[in-house]
């Protein structure tokens, strides 16, 4: 405990020490006086013989201190005082750092929450997505989701696997809940046995589904999400055991999942058991997402091999009905590519976020360069003070440390302000972030973000403090003391650091502006793409589902839908109406099937290529503004008469028959029992999966088809063209119109097609906004930096310019000289920047559309813009320099 006592008694120790030294000096003086010296001489001699009192006291005190810590504390106090003495410098520097830090902290919090944090499940690192590639089934197996699982695949995998603790399949959908105040369409997730067990999150109330709940035609059960439980039941814990009506079926509530629980990436209101009927399963039906929990120590490679081993078992165990060959799936070349569940959730957003993080990091570098400049100027002004400190015995290391402490402190203080701004920034990011950005709801500033922020602040402080500190701690004490305060022209060498910073800033700003420019070009290219529908702002979409228990007979389903159409078209201001199984870009899982053409030969077991298919009502194309390239739409009488007619997309027509007009009168069908359908119209290509994706080949069936499954299409999107789309009064009338046909039908996904469209470009616009912000910040910081440096340099050269003017140089000459120097810096910066951009923009290739990463137009435009801006930033101070009055400039010499 001695050190503790020392800590508190230190003040006294120091006081006693000072007293002791004073006594020593007195005694010495007296003795010398006794030898016959005068009092003054004696005092001087005593001091001389004693040595440097300040240094000795400090050394004595250091005995008791933790020296470094104490010194640093001292440096901090000193630094704070120095910062307080120049409030303008401090404010400008702090603000620059704070904005840079805030932007970085905000973006990092997104990167951290989305990419770095583990998923919100216990032992989430064991969770995998049962991803399968199937290069032989193009279309059905897309790049993002791969080939989903069929129910029979699930059963095979669940029974024969050796590498999983548990596995299950799930599918998201919608259902109508009735019997409460208003019918409501809710989001559902249907799960097989094993899904809840795999995710491992215990329910907040009640229990999971048991195996008994998964028996077909067994008891009907349902589990609520926390949000739905709060919204519909006010969080009442006695809901367990009560019944709700889901799709006209009564289901018993057995549990409530905790807050924040999601099925992989899906929010939901209700979850229900899939309850597969083993006896009726076939090979096909690839619509389920598979998830699994790996056994302890099992690797992804082992799991892949395990799945590959089970594929033949699967083909041998099931069939698609008599007369079919179960081994045709060998032509699909199904390849298990199991991946961590987190990767499945994040998808390809990682690339986007790292690009944004990188650009914001560069903004930070530019901000640091600015602060370095400020510090250079500031330390130059303080050279005398530094020289005095050196003269008083401070070593070089000590001075460097002092200056670094000051700059790191600036950095950390900037960090504190920055964190405050970052809280606002994160809220902004979440607001403007694309809604399809995975895990957006988890974004928050957590301990890791804070740690990152303060490490970044400290490091930036070191970074921008290092150059000035090294520069001004050098052994030039003598000259600094002599020349201090005089306006000597400064040497070329002293401007070198500043010029290098200007070049660096120009180069970095160029890279950022280049990437922002490429995004602008991408956005422009996207805007020019014809999505396949027109004037989406005035297109109202409403999704309505008619469950089998409500209306079972297929034709009545279609007639009900037609009745709704009639009511809707009677609303004031409605131009036309139609419905479709799915509007483009709505993002529902699309449906694919093999399509055979009558005039083509399909040998043996060969399956025809898979095509996306949709069902459309008469009038839909006209309503949506989708052009007919050839032929005509179908009519309602054809629909009810089950006339075998069909429409195809232009690209499908071209692929099969060469030209759109050649397609008219040809015949296609899905499977052998289906009658051949005559192609009566060819529809323009539609950007079904988003503007950036190429249009798929599409077959358009009628809403009522002679089909082996359900002939009617029960869930459709109604599309209404009206100037009043999106207004409350209009939506009320739409609701009333639907309920006048059947009051048990809820309306879901109520939005204008414009909103659907905006969502599909949300990722691009988010990137654009982020890179735009980064680019603008870079430009603004760059201008400030360059302007500041030029102004300062010119103010330093006032005397030189004064002499030049006095010797007969004209204002124009001076202006030209200064601009020439500015241009040189700008050009060097631009050249370096173009080199950097050439290397770096390649990283964002996947974010671009309709423009290459090395787009010459963007490169040229940005380079010219930057040179002009730099010249402007030089021109204003240069202009001022030409107004220097030589007699004033030289007066003080």
**Site of interaction with other proteins (CB under 8 A):** 6, 13, 16-17, 20-21, 23-24, 26-28, 30, 49-53, 56-57, 59-64
Residue 47 or 400 having the CB closest to other proteins: 47
Task: In whole angstroms, give the CA distance from residue 331 to residue 327.
Answer: 8
Distances (CA, A) of 352 to 434, 720, 845: 12, 35, 10
User: What is the crossing angle of helices 856-882 and 492-528, to 10°?
Assistant: 140
Please list the residues that pair with 185 across neighbouring strands: 176
Alpha-carbon distances, residue 251 vs 178, 220, 230, 748 (angstroms): 12, 5, 18, 21
Contact between residue 467 and residue 426 where contact means Cβ atoms under 8 Å apart: no
The Cα-based distances of 611 to 138, 597, 647, 706 in angstroms read: 9, 12, 13, 18
Measured from the CB atom, the residue of 24 and 231 that comes closer to other proteins is 24
What is the enclosing helix (H) or strand (E) of 335? Answer: strand 335-336
Nearer to other proteins, 63 or 69 (CB): 63
CB of 55 to other proteins, least distance (A): 8
What are the DSSP E strand ranges found in 709-819?
715-722, 748-752
Q: Which residue's CB is nearer to other proteins, number 45 or number 662?
A: 45
Nearer to other proteins, 20 or 566 (CB): 20
Phi, then psi, of 836 in degrees rounded to 5: -65, -45
Compute the least distance from the CB of residue 60 to other proteins, in Å: 4
Token pair for 377: 């100027």
DSSP string, 104-171: HHHHHHHHIIIIISPPSSTTGGGEEE--EE-TTSTTTSBTTTBSPBPHHHHHHHHHH-SSEEEEEEEE
Shortest Cβ 484–other proteins spacing (Å): 22
CB of 72 to other proteins, least distance (A): 20
Residue 17 or 871 having the CB closest to other proteins: 17
Integer CA distances (angstroms), 23 to 16, 17, 29, 49, in order: 10, 10, 10, 14
Query: Closest approach of Cβ 866 to other proteins, in Å?
Result: 54
Nearer to other proteins, 64 or 78 (CB): 64
CB of 394 to other proteins, least distance (A): 17
Which residue shows structure tokens 């905790």? 258
- Closest contact distance (angstroms) between CB of 53 and other proteins is 7
In angstroms, give the least distance from the CB of 52 to other proteins: 7
- The minimum distance between CB 19 and other proteins, in angstroms, equals 8
Least distance to other proteins from the beta carbon of 48, Å? 10
- Show the tokens assigned to 255: 């549990």
Q: Residues with Cβ < 8 Å from 291, sequence gap 6 or more? A: 127, 128, 129, 130, 167, 168, 169, 170, 195, 198, 199, 264, 341
Q: Which is nearer to other proteins, 34 or 601 (CB)?
A: 34
Q: 20 vs 125, which CB is nearer to other proteins?
A: 20
Of 30 and 553, nearer to other proteins (C-beta) is: 30
Smallest distance from other proteins to CB 11, Å = 15
- 45 vs 444, which CB is nearer to other proteins? 45
CA distance 813 to 809: 6
What DSSP state is assigned to residue 607?
P
Closest C-alpha to 382, from 71, 798, 797, 79: 79
Of the candidates 105, 169, 93, the one whose C-alpha atom is nearest the C-alpha of residue 360 is 105
Q: Give how far Cα 413 sits from Cα of 199, 294, 777, 864, Å.
A: 43, 47, 20, 37
Identity of the residue, 56 or 91, whose beta carbon is nearer to other proteins in the bound complex = 56
Min CB(414)–other proteins separation in Å: 39
Contact 571/734 with Cβ under 8 angstroms? yes
Nearer to other proteins, 62 or 348 (CB): 62
Q: Which helix (H) or strand (E) holds 650?
A: helix 650-657
Report, in Å, the least distance between residue 63 CB and other proteins.
4
Which residue, among 66, 23, 62, 64, has the nearest Cα to 46 in the 3D structure?
23
Nearer to other proteins, 29 or 132 (CB): 29
Cβ closest to other proteins, residue 17 vs residue 827: 17
Sign of the C-alpha dihedral computed for residues 445, 448, 450 and 453 taken in this order: negative
Q: How far apart are the C-alpha atoms of 28 and 432, rounded to whole Å?
A: 77
How many CA atoms does the CB half-sphere of 173 hold within 13 Å?
20
CB of 393 to other proteins, least distance (A): 13
CB 366 within 8 A of CB 505: yes
* Shortest Å, Cβ 62 to other proteins: 8
Residue-by-residue DSSP string for 397-442 = HHHHHHHHHHHHHHHHHHHHHHHHHHHHHHHHHHHHS-TTSTTGGG
For the CB of residue 125, give the shortest distance to other proteins in the complex, in Å: 53
Question: Which CB sits closer to other proteins, 68 or 331?
Answer: 68
């Amino acid at each position: 405990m001695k050190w503790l006592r020392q800590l508190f008694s230190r003040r006294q120790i120091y006081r006693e020490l000072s007293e002791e030294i004073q006594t020593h000096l007195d005694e010495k003086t007296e003795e010398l006086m006794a030898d016959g010296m005068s009092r003054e001489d004696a005092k001087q001699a005593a001091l001389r013989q004693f040595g440097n009192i300040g240094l000795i006291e400090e050394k004595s005190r250091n005995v008791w201190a933790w020296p470094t810590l104490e010194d640093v504390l001292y440096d901090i106090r000193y630094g704070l005082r120095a910062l307080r003495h120049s409030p303008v410098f401090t404010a400008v520097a702090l603000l620059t750092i704070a904005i840079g830090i805030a932007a970085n902290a905000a973006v990092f919090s997104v990167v951290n929450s989305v990419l770095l944090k583990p998923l919100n499940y216990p032992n989430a690192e064991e969770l995998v997505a049962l991803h399968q590639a199937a290069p032989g089934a193009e279309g059905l197996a897309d790049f993002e989701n791969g080939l989903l699982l069929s129910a029979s695949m699930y059963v095979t995998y669940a029974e024969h696997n050796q590498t999983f603790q548990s596995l299950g399949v799930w599918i998201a959908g919608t259902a109508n809940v009735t019997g409460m105040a208003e019918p409501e369409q809710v989001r559902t997730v249907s799960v097989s046995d094993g899904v809840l067990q795999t995710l491992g999150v215990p329910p907040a109330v009640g229990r999971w589904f048991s195996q008994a709940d998964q028996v077909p035609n067994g008891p009907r059960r349902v589990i609520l999400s926390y949000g739905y439980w709060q919204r519909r039941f006010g969080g009442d814990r006695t809901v367990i055991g009560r019944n709700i009506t889901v799709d006209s079926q009564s289901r018993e509530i057995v549990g409530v999942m905790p807050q924040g629980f999601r099925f992989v990436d899906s929010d939901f209101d209700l979850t229900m058991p899939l309850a597969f009927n083993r006896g009726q399963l076939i090979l096909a039906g690839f619509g389920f997402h598979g998830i699994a929990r790996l056994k302890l120590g099992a690797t992804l490679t082992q799991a892949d091999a395990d799945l590959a081993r089970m594929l033949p078992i699967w083909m041998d165990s099931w069939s698609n009905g008599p007369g079919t060959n179960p081994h045709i799936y060998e032509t699909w070349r199904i390849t298990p590519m199991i991946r961590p569940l987190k990767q499945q959730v994040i998808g390809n957003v990682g690339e986007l976020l790292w690009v944004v993080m990188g650009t914001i990091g560069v903004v930070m570098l530019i901000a640091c360069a600015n602060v370095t400049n400020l510090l250079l100027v500031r330390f130059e002004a303080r050279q005398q003070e530094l020289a005095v400190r050196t003269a008083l015995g401070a070593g070089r290391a000590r001075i460097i440390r002092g200056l670094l402490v000051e700059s790191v402190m600036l950095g950390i203080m900037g960090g504190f302000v920055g964190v405050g701004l970052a809280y606002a920034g994160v809220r902004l990011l979440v607001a403007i972030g694309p809604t399809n950005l995975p895990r957006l709801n988890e974004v928050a500033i957590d301990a890791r973000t804070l740690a990152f922020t303060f490490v970044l602040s400290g490091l930036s402080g070191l970074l921008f403090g290092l150059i000035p500190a090294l520069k001004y701690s050098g052994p030039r004490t003598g000259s600094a003391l002599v020349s201090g305060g005089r306006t000597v022209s400064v040497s070329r060498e002293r401007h070198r650091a500043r010029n290098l910073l200007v070049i660096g800033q120009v180069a970095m700003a160029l890279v950022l502006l280049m990437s922002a420019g490429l995004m602008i070009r991408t956005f422009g290219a996207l805007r020019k793409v014809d999505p396949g529908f027109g004037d989406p702002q005035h297109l109202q979409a409403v999704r309505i589902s008619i469950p089998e228990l409500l209306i079972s007979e297929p034709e009545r389903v279609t007639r009900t839908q037609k009745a709704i159409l009639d009511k809707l078209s009677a609303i004031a201001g409605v131009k036309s109406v139609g419905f479709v199984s799915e509007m483009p870009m709505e993002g529902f899982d699309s449906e694919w099937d093999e399509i055979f053409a009558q005039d083509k030969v399909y040998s043996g077991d060969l399956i025809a290529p898979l095509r996306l298919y949709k069902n459309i009502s008469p009038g839909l194309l006209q309503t949506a503004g989708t052009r007919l390239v050839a032929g005509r739409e179908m009519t309602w009488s054809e629909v009810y008469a089950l006339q075998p007619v069909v429409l195809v997309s232009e690209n499908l027509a071209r692929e099969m028959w060469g030209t759109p007009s050649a397609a008219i009168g040809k015949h296609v069908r899905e499977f052998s029992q289906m009658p051949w359908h005559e192609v009566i119209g060819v529809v323009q290509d539609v950007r079904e999966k988003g503007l950036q994706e190429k249009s798929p080949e599409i077959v358009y069936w009628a809403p009522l088809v002679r089909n082996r499954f359900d002939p009617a299409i029960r869930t459709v999107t109604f599309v209404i063209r009206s100037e009043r789309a999106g207004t409350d009064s209009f939506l009320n009338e739409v609701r009333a119109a639907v309920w006048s046909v059947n009051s048990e039908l809820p309306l879901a996904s109520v939005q204008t097609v414009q909103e659907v469209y905006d969502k599909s470009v949300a990722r691009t616009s988010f990137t654009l906004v982020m890179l735009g912000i980064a680019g603008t910040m870079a430009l603004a910081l760059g201008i400030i930096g360059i302007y500041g440096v030029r102004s300062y340099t010119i103010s330093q050269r006032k005397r030189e310019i004064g002499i030049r003017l006095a010797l007969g140089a004209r204002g124009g000459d001076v202006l030209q000289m200064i601009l020439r120097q500015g241009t040189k810096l700008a050009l060097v910066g631009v050249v370096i920047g173009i080199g950097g951009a050439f290397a770096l923009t390649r990283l964002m290739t996947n974010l671009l559309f309709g423009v290459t990463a090395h787009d010459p137009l963007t490169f040229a435009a940005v380079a010219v813009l930057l040179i002009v801006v730099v010249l402007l930033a030089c021109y204003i101070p240069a202009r001022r320099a030409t107004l220097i009055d030589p007699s004033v400039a030289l007066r003080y010499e």
